[in-house]
Amino acid sequence: MRKGIHPENYRLVAFKDMSNDDVFLTKSTASTNETLDVDGVEYPLVKMEISRTSHPFYTGKSKLVDTAGRIDKFKTKYAKFKK
């Protein structure tokens, strides 16, 4: 491998899903000023809105939000084109 092309600050970082407080460790070069204590060891902390533990694709749970009957409105509007 060529020398001098890889980042110097490649280290273990704690990523925290803010929607369900799940924390996982992985190597990263992400810069942050916050830290988190995991099992007695302090790691740099990166906060995330969504991760594999809260994303509907991975959890299999999806939310259907029907605001003001949009689905019913759509069905009645296009019902006339049904044969």
Look at residue 25 in the predicted model and tell me its pLDDT: 95
Q: Tens digit of pLDDT for each residue in 30-76?
A: 999 999 999 999 999 999 888 878 777 766 776 555 556 777 777 88
d(CA 36, CA 21): 12
Coil, strand or helix at 45: strand
SS3 readout for 18-34: CCCCCEEEEEECCCCCC
Residue 23 has pLDDT above 90, yes or no: yes
d(CA 15, CA 29): 12
If we measure between CA atoms, which residue out of 25, 28, 53 comes closest to residue 39?
Answer: 25
